[in-house]
Amino acid sequence: MVGRVTDDTGAVVPGGRLPSPNVGTNDSRSVIVNDSGEYAVPQLAPGQYTVTAEYAGFIRLFAPASPGDGQQARIDIALKVGTVSEEVEVSAAAPS
């Protein structure tokens, strides 16, 4: 799983930790967003995951991902200014 974290103006938001738990097994992987706003969670087993982006000064965001066997999911995250106590859940269908 790979992606980029930006704010709602398109500026990159580096340095955050993105936990990505597997919904079915509750196993979790966590990565740090680099200085370019990019992140990668390598070698995920197929399944359903939820990427959580939580940064001070931004609304917490939850994004689902379902990488298949041998496939790479791309989850780009656009954060909105707000308080962490506010939450946004993103839902999207996987491309066919």
> 13-30: buried (b, 16+ CB within 10 Å) or exposed (e) per residue?
beebebebbbeeeeeeee
pLDDT by position in tens, the chain (length 96): 899 999 989 999 999 889 888 888 888 889 999 999 999 988 888 889 899 988 888 988 888 888 876 678 899 999 998 875 555 566 655 554
Contact in structure between 64 and 50 (CB atoms under 8 Å):
yes
Beta pairing partners, 17: 32
Q: For the domain 2-89, what is the CATH code?
A: 2.60.40.1120
